[in-house]
């Protein structure tokens, strides 16, 4: 099982509640960490809404949900507020988490190549061990699939 580098796990990050804290401080039991390319875009908005709708069920299972993109803190805070998300988002402007989880890939849009976040989701335990991962995520039904996996992990 892959474990996130302890230096990254302990590093202070910018959360939308205005606090600088580490993943180690935020994740007590399990957490869903979902990476999305850009706040306020259709896919990212739908994915965040889906996790918001299921958030209470994740919490019942002792699992935190945290969204991550490389957007600025202000943009992340506006995104969270606009869609009334019950969980925190990380403004990973320096791509610390993105690099640690290897979600920055070459993308191609309208024939133009660029580096960007590949939509990915990870379930982690309180020590930063990756319990399950999804890469190249398709948004429809994804949050439900993640919830099902968290239930299986908890059994």
Residues 33, 44, 96, 143: which is the catalytic one?
A: 44
DSSP letters, the chain, are --B--HHHHHS-EEBTTS-EE-HHHH-SSEEEEEE-S-TTSHHHHHHHHHHHHHHHHHHHTTEEEEEEESS-HHHHHHHHHHTT-SSEEEE-TT-HHHHHTT-EEEEEETTEEEEEEPPEEEEEETTSBEEEEE-S--STTHHHHHHHHHHHHH-
Active site residue 98: no
Active site residues: 44
């Amino acid at each position: 099982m892959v474990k996130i580098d302890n230096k990254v796990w302990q590093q202070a990050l910018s959360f939308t509640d205005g606090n600088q804290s580490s993943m180690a401080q935020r994740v007590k039991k399990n957490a869903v960490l979902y990476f999305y390319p850009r706040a306020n875009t259709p896919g990212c908005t739908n994915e965040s809404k889906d996790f918001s709708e299921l958030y209470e069920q994740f919490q019942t299972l002792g699992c935190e949900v945290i969204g991550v993109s490389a957007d600025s803190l202000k943009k992340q805070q506006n995104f969270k507020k606009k869609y009334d998300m019950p969980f925190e988002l990380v403004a990973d402007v320096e791509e610390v988490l993105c690099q640690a989880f290897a979600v920055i890939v070459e993308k191609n849009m309208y024939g133009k190549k660029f580096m960007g976040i590949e939509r990915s989701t990870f379930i982690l335990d309180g020590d930063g061990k990756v319990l399950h991962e999804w890469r190249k995520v398709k948004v429809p039904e994804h949050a439900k699939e993640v919830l099902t996996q968290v239930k299986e992990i908890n059994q």
